[in-house]
Amino acid sequence: MKILLTIAYVGTNYQGYQLQKDKPTVSLMLNKAVRDAFGIECNVTGCSRTDSGVHALGYCATVEPKDPNEKITVPIEKIPLVLNLSLPDDISVLDAKEVPSTFHARYDVAKKEYVYKIHASTLRDPFLNKRALEYGKEISDESFEKMQKAASFYIGTHEFDSFMSSGSKIENTERTVYESYLKRNGENIEFHILANGFLYNMVRIMVGTLLDVEKGKIHENTIPDIILAKDRKRSGSTAKADGLYLQKIFYLNS
């Protein structure tokens, strides 16, 4: 029996999702909760790595017994409640459903959606502390439109070397971006992006580049040239992890 969990978490207190020696991670907390709830050793497989401080609204992970002769006896509909009893307050299982034994939480991903939240104000919002980028200034309607135009150039199939952290060992840098746009609600701005995959720090560098467009350091019409250059030095800075959320995972045949 393999169970697919949908999980939300605030990443502020964790060194990302993936297990790391002697460091607090979301995976560590989830593995402990699974052992406590089910009383058996299970394989827990996440859909993706997330960096330190990054949040998730719809992270996915599978759980299945390591020993095929053992079973998870908790009814499916009660699994979220039972796991949440053992999880800290900043991690919550939202849903659980049974999937085929051949299903893979990572390799069956078709698309991922990320959201990056920006608080564009001269005044801090304490309720957004570590949960949005505090930009420290207002963004005019004119600047917002320039950022929106710049974001539209991310759409398409490109080699995104210019938006990958230096030193990354990934060789295939081609990704397809299906949606890339900004939404505004007063001083709160969200960057939404949907793609078949992402490179290391890709979204945060994209956001940093959009903010450099707002500052006048990069012209919005030069984004295609920056993409074609395949040179990290041509794009903007890497935005903080605080505002980044893994919004949703889309699976093949779903």
Helix axis angle, 202-215 relative to 141-152, nearest 10°? 140
192, with CB counted inside 10 A (0-12, 13-18, 19+), is: middle
Per the CB < 8 A criterion, the answer to whether 188 and 132 are in contact is yes
CA atoms of 169 and 150, how far apart (whole Å): 27
Residue 51 known to be catalytic: yes
Number of H helices, E strands in the chain: 5, 10
According to DSSP H, which parts of 49-187 are helical? 79-86, 141-152
Asked if 121 contacts 75 with a C-beta cutoff of 8 angstroms, the reply is no
For residue 123, with 0-12 CB atoms within 10 Å meaning exposed, 13-18 middle and 19 or more buried, which class applies? Answer: exposed
Cross-strand bridge partners of residue 248: 113
Catalytic site residue from 22, 51, 95, 225: 51
* Paired tokens of 149: 């135009």
d(CA 56, CA 161): 25
Give catalytic residue positions.
Answer: 51
